[in-house]
Chains A and B, each alone.
Chain A
Amino acid sequence: MGLMLWAQGDPVAIGGSATLAVIAVTVMLGFVDAQRLSERVLLGNLGIATGQQALLLGFAAACGEFVLRVGAAFA
């Protein structure tokens, strides 16, 4: 919902192209999340602490999500 508000301003009156953009972004975010999950397991088994993981993955995820949200806003 937050993404819809951010992207369009009115989630009720959201247009067709924006809906497609939101769906695409949601799918991509899910993909990013799945990637993060598999990487977390590997990093965990490597004995890398959660804080370090957050630094490694959080930065990458934040960059990725910023790009996706900006993309959705201009879709």
Chain B
Amino acid sequence: MNPFLVADCVGKAFAGRRVLSSATLRAVPGEVRAMLGRSGEGKSTLLRIAAGWLAPDTGLVRCGAESPLQLTAAALAQRGVFYVPDHGALSVALTVREQLAMLAERFPGGASPEDAATQMGVAHGLDERPPTLSGGEQRRADLAAVLVRAPRCLLADEPVRGIEPIDAEGLMRTFRVIARAGIAVVVTGHDVELLLDGSDHVTWVTSGTTYELGPPRIARGHEQFRAQYLGR
């Protein structure tokens, strides 16, 4: 299937330090894609560029059949891209209910805030602000926002970092359910086994570039990936 979102041949440097030289992200409808790589290799940078939050030095971001011009985060959001950074997608200043209601009003067609919160097991926290929820509940509230928004593409940066294993497994299951509904999902992280088990495709980010390793079964057997990243 054709990708919905492509960040192609992306290069990016910060203060003279080149993080990405020629990296590519493809978000394909119906697939959970895991981007793996060591810390500092540019996974988050590539995700931010794909979401329009950061301008690349070189390369471009294309969304659907749109012209290959650099699209802003707002333009990508309006086309159906939803970005969840590692600190979460919801504001710390408003209640979860208020924020889900804003998304529902702006983008009708997804789940209702109540249904989404119930589905994600955070109905009890609807009238709380995100910082008062536990880490796992905050991540589930982020996914409730995704269900309300019903995006065409979800980019999630380290969504299972620092939460209980049971919550992490639940999130990965939800990513798969979301993908099966035809949404393109890309997640990053360091919980290798969880991400390999829960994904359809593995992209290895290393040395400023990306390697499409394919399905997790193939990735696990990739000699260089094993030697340089998995370490076994």
| Distance to closest chain A CB from B175 (angstroms) | 17
**List of 9 A-B pairs having minimum Cβ-Cβ separation, nearest first:** A47-B78, A47-B77, A49-B74, A42-B91, A44-B73, A39-B91, A38-B91, A38-B92, A47-B74
User: Which residues of chain A come closer than 8 Å to B83, judged between CB atoms?
Assistant: 41, 44-45
Option from A39, A41, A48, A49 in Cβ contact (under 8 Å) with B85: A41
Write the residues of chain B forming the contact surface with A, with a CB cutoff of 8 angstroms. Answer: 51-53, 72-75, 77-78, 82-83, 85, 87-94, 99, 102-103, 106-107, 145, 149
**Are B77 and A34 closer than 8 Å at their CB atoms?**
no
| Contact A39/B102 with A46-B77, A50-B73 known, Cβ cut-off 8 Å | no
A44, A49, A50: residue with the most chain B Cβ atoms closer than 10 Å: A44
User: Which residues of chain B come closer than 8 Å to A39, judged between CB atoms?
Assistant: 91, 93
| Distance to closest chain B CB from A31 (angstroms) | 10
**Are B93 and A44 closer than 8 Å at their CB atoms?**
no
**Are A44 and B53 closer than 8 Å at their CB atoms?**
yes
* Minimal Cβ-Cβ distance residue in A for B149: A45
**Are A44 and B77 closer than 8 Å at their CB atoms?**
yes
| Distance to closest chain A CB from B201 (angstroms) | 24
